[in-house]
Amino acid sequence: MALCGALQSFLFEYDTPRIVLIRSRKVGLINRAVQLGILAYVIGWVFLWEKGYQETDAVVSSVTTKVKGVTLTNTSLLGARIWDVADYVIPPQGENTVFVMTNAILTLNQSQGRCPELPDDQTKCEVDNNCVPGYVSTHSSGIQTGKCVPYNSSIKTCEVFAWCPVEDDYHIPKPAFLREAENFTLLVKNNIWYRKFNFSKVESWHCRSTGTATWTEPLPTVCQNIPSGASTTRTLPTPSHLATTSVNHAAEFAKYYKNSDGTDSRTLVKAYGIRFDIMVFGKAGKFDVIPTMINIGSGLALFGVATVLCDIFVLYCMKKKYYYREKKYKYVEDYELGADET
C-alpha cells in the first residue's frame, strides 16, 4: 500500500514554488549577509584574483645558457695557464642548466698499469695475504692484483690495476683554484611561446656574482637580474623565472692523449663548482566573452544558496517554525475532480 501511495503521489501530484514574504529582521539580515558573501566571492575571487574574465595559456619555453670569461692561474703543478669557457664550463653550452667549475683536483699523466691504491681502512696491508685478487669495492680506483706494495716510506697498500697514479681526492685546493670565477658572466637566453595566443618572444639576461663571497670554499654566488619566486598571472604574456644554484656540485671528466709509443694517457679532472638550474614557468591571459559569461552565470546560480539557507533556518530553527510551514506549503485538491463528483 505504501508503495502504491508513493507511486500515485509521484504520478498525480505536482509541486510549484510559492512566494512567501516574511517580515523578520533576523531572517532578512541572514539573507542579505549570505548574498553579500556570494557577491564578494564572485567579484573579489573569481574575477579580480583568478581573472575569470580571461582565457589563459601556459608558457612553452626553451632556455639556453652560455658563460663568458677568461682567467689566469699560476701553480706549481701546471705553471701559468689560461682558462676559458672550454676549460671551466661543463658542457660549454647547455639548455636549462650550466655547471661552472671553481675548484679542481687534477691528476696528470695517468696511464693504465699497476700502482698502489690510496690508503684507507680497506686498502692498508702488511703482507700479500691481506689483499684479495680481483676485489673491487665502492671506493676502489681499480681492481686489486693480490700484492701488497709500498705507497710511501711508511705505508703499504694493496696494488691495483687502474689508471695510475690513482687520484688523491682527499685534499681539495684552498683557496679555490678558479677564484676569479666571480668575474665570469652567465648569459641566459629564453625563447617563450604561448600557443593559444600565437605569441612568441626571445628574452635575454646577464648574471654575475655580487662579489661578496669568501674564497676558502668553491665559489658561492648570488645571481642578479633573474627574479626568483612563484609564477604570477599577468595580462601580458610574460613568464616568471626561477634560478637556483647548487654550490659544491662535483663533476669528473678526463682528457685523453695518445703517446708516441701508441699508448693512451689522460689528465683526470675532478671539478667542484656551481650548477645553475633555470626553470621558466608562467601563465598568460586575455579577455574572452565565453569564460566571462560562464562565470557570471555560475555567480547568479550561487544566489540560490541564500534562499536555501534561509528556508532551512525559517522552517527548522526558528521558534515559529510550524507557523511558517503552514504559510510555506499549501495543499490544493483537484478542482475538476471535485466538480464532477458534485
* 24-33, 69-78, 115-124: least confident range: 69-78
Domain match, 46 and 67 both: no
**Position 208 confidence tier, pLDDT thresholds 50, 70, 90:** low
- Residue 143 maps to a domain: no
- If you average pLDDT over residues 222-250, what whole number do you get? 47
- Residue 99 maps to a domain: yes
Dihedral (C-alpha) 299, 303, 308, 310: value to the nearest 10 degrees?
140
Q: Which of 103-107, 157-161, 181-185 has the highest mean pLDDT?
A: 157-161
- Residue 128 maps to a domain: no
Local structure of residue 147 (DSSP, 8 states): E
The secondary structure of 174-193 as a DSSP string is SS-TTGGGGG-EEEEEEEEE
- Residue 27 maps to a domain: yes
Domain match, 224 and 280 both: yes
**Position 159 confidence tier, pLDDT thresholds 50, 70, 90:** very high
The secondary structure of 91-124 as a DSSP string is SSEEESEEEEEEEEEEEEEEEEEEEEPPPSTTTB
**Is 0.75 topped by the overall pTM?**
no
Domain match, 241 and 183 both: yes
- If you average pLDDT over residues 63-85, what whole number do you get? 85
**129-149 tens-digit pLDDT:** 999 999 998 889 999 999 999
- If you average pLDDT over residues 242-250, what whole number do you get? 63
- If you average pLDDT over residues 233-244, what whole number do you get? 48
Q: Order of strands across the sheet with 54-58?
A: 54-58, 283-287, 233-234
CATH number at residue 46: 1.10.287.940
- Residue 71 maps to a domain: yes
Domain match, 306 and 236 both: no
> What pLDDT does 94 receive?
66
85: Cα within 13 Å, side-chain hemisphere: 14
What is the Cα–Cα distance from 112 to 138, expressed in whole angstroms?
Answer: 20
- Residue 323 maps to a domain: yes
CATH number at residue 198: 2.60.490.10
* pLDDT of 114 strictly over 90: yes
**Position 242 confidence tier, pLDDT thresholds 50, 70, 90:** low
* 14-23, 117-126, 299-308: least confident range: 14-23
> What pLDDT does 248 receive?
65
> What pLDDT does 56 receive?
87
> What pLDDT does 60 receive?
87
What is the Cα–Cα distance from 141 to 9, expressed in whole angstroms?
Answer: 89
Which of residues 263, 285, 307 is at a domain's end?
A: 285
- Residue 203 maps to a domain: yes
Cα 246 to chain centroid distance, Å, stands at 14
- Residue 205 maps to a domain: yes
Phi-psi region of 309 (alpha: psi -120 to 50; beta: other; left: phi over 0): alpha
Domain match, 96 and 214 both: yes
Domain match, 207 and 326 both: no
Which of residues 285, 306, 328 is at a domain's end?
A: 285
Domain match, 104 and 36 both: no
61: Cα within 13 Å, side-chain hemisphere: 24
> What pLDDT does 171 receive?
78
Domain match, 270 and 216 both: yes
DSSP SS3 for 21: coil
Mean pLDDT of the chain: 80
Domain match, 240 and 181 both: yes
Which of residues 265, 285, 305 is at a domain's end?
A: 285
Q: Cell 600565437 identifies what position? A: 198
- Total domain count, the chain: 2
Structural domain containing residue 194: 60-117+166-285
Local structure of residue 271 (DSSP, 8 states): E
Domain match, 74 and 11 both: no
Domain match, 224 and 101 both: yes
Domain match, 84 and 228 both: yes
